[in-house]
A and B are shown apart, each in its own frame.
Chain A
């Protein structure tokens, strides 16, 4: 299992080339895809998320780690199908209408995908109706909304309202995040959860879906 530790380190260091190579090595050693995912990829990104939160590293480092994580994930993903590892669930994410900021949203996508969720990223400047339409069409359990601007935050409330109008409240959960967003705003618009940062998103979604959070933590 030494290889998993090496793979995890290559993700923490953001070494794309090493991550791809060691992921290949781990597969060659016939380690289960689920274990590679949990003990190397997710474990590595959790360390990265924690270092980012405590300002030990900054965004460029996180982005390099994400590239490394994706390089490893690309190697491991074909095994998921073979081993029939079910997806943990589908999450539609995007930045709300009028807002073009995508860094936070992308980080959330990386963390969720790394954790085994199927992520449908609608990009930026997404109309409230589109979030709901896509979530219904793709059979998603969760909608993740991001906003960086105080001017665009109200778009989050619109998504919650549309779900309510269509009788989908509770069936499709809404998580929100972004610099101006907080718990109080989450309660006020009636969203299901506020997510403090990207590292937190996996635990938040799992909790919402009633899944155990022990492994990914």
Chain B
């Protein structure tokens, strides 16, 4: 199989998978439990979700390791299981992907705020990422995906750890932006321009945005990224923002709506399109449908 970066460089549009958390909930994940416990207790569910996404047309599936850095796991008293949880997450995704889809290892925020604003030393966060990424890389992944970041300084710590441990593995970094009167900025005050510049300088291979926005806002975010970087861009929108309907949480953007906006993302120069919260295999199938037509 050609590498992820080679396929992007040849001009191919790559499709990533959709949501994990909301899919797990639909399969009865107890809301009081750390989602990473599933890796140890019921990995077959993760395999099933990954298979559904691959069948829907995803070229990339993500591991269920978003919160599996020791600093994050310690909050659920699971820090001593860092190795098992990350290895099991990769194994489940690989079982589904085989050699026909890429396995991308998810690395989410530490949940800490760095000094001087918060109380955590950058070194502590770096070492936590290093510990997680070491296991992910040893388990054999095709890409690392540092995602949903709001503080670019924290994203850089994870990126530096990835480049130190796995210099040959492509690293994707995505951040979550809010629409403000000053353009798109993360809650920690990182603009798209600053994110693009710093991530590029630290060697990120693919950059972009996930979560926090529906697909229309993401088209604007993609254009802003394109204006500041030559790196390949990844976009993973939510299926809109969650609404409550009769006690149920509903994500309003349908697969059809997603499909209708994919051409705008392509025009903005995006290389990887997937989904975040609320997206399902149906959304991924809809995206794949448009790309097969235009591609």
Contacts and interface: CB of A to CB of B under 8 A. Distances in A.
Interface in B98-129: 111, 113, 116-118
Given A64-B116, A151-B25, A154-B31, A58 B187 contact: yes
Interface string B9-36: 0000000000001100100011111000
Interface residues of A, number: 29
Interface stretch (B155-163, B178-186, B196-204, B279-287): B178-186
Contact of A55 (B33, B113, B182): B182
Contact of A59 (B117, B242, B244): B117
B295 interface: no
A97 B32 contact: yes
A155 interface: yes
A124 B34 CA distance: 13
B64 to A, nearest CB: 14
A71 to B, nearest CB: 13
B242 A63 contact: no
Dominant SS at the B interface?
Answer: loop
Contacts of B22: 150-151
Interface centre among A64, A151, A153, A155 (most CB of B within 10 A): A151
Interface residues of B, number: 30
Dominant SS at the A interface?
Answer: loop
Contacts, number: 65
B249 A58 contact: no
Contacts of A151: 21-22, 25, 29, 31
A125 B30 CA distance: 13
A97 B31 contact: yes
Nearest to B113: A63
Interface centre among B76, B117, B185, B247 (most CB of A within 10 A): B117
B255 to A, nearest CB: 19
A48 B31 CA distance: 34
A133 to B, nearest CB: 17
A83 interface: no
Contacts of A54: 181
A54 B182 CA distance: 10
Contacts of B113: 63, 103
B221 interface: no
Nearest to B21: A151
A188 B31 contact: no
A150 B249 contact: yes
A185 B178 CA distance: 22
Contact of B188 (A60, A100, A127, A180): A60
B2 interface: no
Interface in A151-168: 151-155
A150 B277 contact: yes
B222 to A, nearest CB: 21
25 contacts: A55-B178, A55-B180, A55-B181, A58-B185, A58-B188, A58-B189, A59-B187, A60-B188, A60-B189, A63-B117, A97-B31, A98-B31, A100-B75, A100-B76, A124-B75, A125-B32, A127-B32, A149-B31, A151-B25, A151-B29, A155-B31, A180-B242, A180-B249, A182-B244, A184-B244
A-B CB proximity, top 5 nearest: A58-B189, A55-B180, A60-B117, A98-B32, A63-B117
